[in-house]
Amino acid sequence: MTEAIAEARLEAPVLDIDPFTEEILPDPYAFHETLREKAAVVVLAPYGIYATGRYEEVKAVMSDHERFMAGAGTGMYDLRKPGAWRPRSPLLEVDPPEHTSLRTVLTRIISPIVVRKWRADFEKEAERIADKVVDMGEFDAVRDIAEAFVLTVFPSALGVDIPHENAVAIGDMNFNAIGPNNDIFQRSLKKVEPILEWYQKSFQRESMIPGGFGEQIYLAEEAGELPPGSAPGIVRSFIRGGMDTTNAGIGFTLNQLARDPAQWARVRADPSLVRGAFEEAIRHESPSQTQFRTTTRETVLGGVKLAADRKIAVFIGAANRDPRQWNRAGDFLIDRQTAGIHLAFGAGAHNCIGQMIARLEADIILAAIARRVAAIELAGPPSYRIINTLRTLEKLPLRVTRA
C-alpha cells in the first residue's frame, strides 16, 4: 500500500440513487448536484460501482489510463468478465501503448487537410437546409436541421449509406448499451432488432462507398498499419461516436439561442460567434453524459480510497456544471471560452478524435441559419430523448423570421 493510500481517510460513501431512470434522465441536474456534493467519489448503490461528478476528478480519471483503464470497457460492465454482451471497440476500449499507434493512423486519415476538403459539400447541404427551414417558418429543429444536416453530411464523409430513421434507432441503442442493462436499454434493443442485420453489414468492407474515410480505414488495415480485423470495429466506433453527439450539440445551441434574443442578435451580427455558442452548448448540456473506466490498482481519487479492479462512472454532464470549476455553471454564455477546458469531448488518450469534424459541421449549419434568420423563438416546449448515457433533444419546435 502506498503512503498516499494509507493517508486517505475517506472510504467512498454510498449514494443510493439510480440515475438511469425515466425520471432522472430527462432532467439530471438535481442528481448531479447530489453526486458532486456527497463526496469526490461515491459508491452508486444500485450498481455497486464508483461514481464521480466533480470536474477535477472526472478529468483525472479520463486522463490517467494507468490507474483508470479503458481496456475493461468504457461502459458499465467489465468486458473481461463472463456475460459481457457488447463487442469491444478496437479503438476506444484499448489502452496505450496499443491505442497510440491506432490513434496515429486514424489522426492521419482524418487530418485537417482531409477534413477541409469536405467544407464545400457541407456548406452546400447547409445552405439547402437553411433555405428550406426559413421557407417553412415553423419546424422541428431536431428533425429538420440537426438530423437533416448531420445524418446527410457525416455518412457521406465516412462513405456509408445510413438511412435517417436507422441512425436514430441505432444511436439510442448504442448509447443505452454503455449504461446498465435496464428496461430503457432493452426497449431500444427491441426497436433495432429488425435492422440489426443491416447494421452489422453497414460497417463491413463491402459497404464502404469509395472516396469516404471508412474506405481509408480498410485500406490502412490492408496495408498492415492497423491490427488485422480491426477496421469493422473502428468504422463502427465512428458511426457510434459521430452522429448523435453532434446532432445533440447543434440542437442544444439552437435551443439556448432561441431563448435568448440578445445572444441571438450578437450571433446574427457576427456569425463566427456560432463557434463559441456550440462549444458552450456542449459544456452546458454535455451530449455524452456518462462514460466508465476500471481501476487498475488500489488508488486514491479526491482523497477517497478506491479498491482495485472496480468500475467507476464519470458523469461528464455533472463535471461540466461543477461550480468548483465554472461561475454561473447553469447559464449559457457564448463568450465563456470553454474549448479545451470543458470535458464534453473527454480528456486524455481517448479525447474525441472527431471533435474538429463536429465543430466544422456545427459552424457551417449554425452560420447558415444565422445569416438567414432575423429572429428565432421556441414554438413549443422542447423534449428530451431518454437514453442511459446520451443527452439529446427529441423535439425542438422553433419559429423563425426571415432576415
Question: Which residues lie near ligand HEM (CB under 6 A)?
Answer: 62, 74, 91-92, 103, 237-238, 241-242, 245-246, 249, 282, 287-288, 291, 344-346, 350, 352-354, 357-358
Cβ nearer to ligand HEM, comparing 62 with 162 = 62
Question: Quick one: which of 92, 72, 108 has its CA closest to 288?
Answer: 92
Q: How far is the CB of 121 from ligand HEM (least distance, A)?
A: 15
CA torsion 105-110-112-117 (nearest 10°) is: 140
Question: Quick one: which of 130, 387, 132 has its CA closest to 240?
Answer: 387
Cβ nearer to ligand HEM, comparing 28 with 287 = 287
210 Cβ contact partners less than 8 Å away, ≥ 6 residues apart: 159
80 Cβ contact partners less than 8 Å away, ≥ 6 residues apart: 72, 73
Q: How far is the CB of 1 from ligand HEM (least distance, A)?
A: 29
CB 24 within 8 A of CB 392: no
Cβ nearer to ligand HEM, comparing 276 with 287 = 287
Q: How far is the CB of 168 from ligand HEM (least distance, A)?
A: 16
Cβ nearer to ligand HEM, comparing 245 with 388 = 245
Cβ nearer to ligand HEM, comparing 72 with 358 = 358
Q: How far is the CB of 115 from ligand HEM (least distance, A)?
A: 9
Q: How far is the CB of 298 from ligand HEM (least distance, A)?
A: 22
Torsion 241-242-248-253 (CA) sign? positive
Terminal Cα-to-Cα distance of the chain (whole angstroms): 66
Interatomic CA distance for residues 144 and 109, integer angstroms: 30
Cβ nearer to ligand HEM, comparing 8 with 70 = 70
Residue entry with cell 488495415:
221
Q: How far is the CB of 249 from ligand HEM (least distance, A)?
A: 4
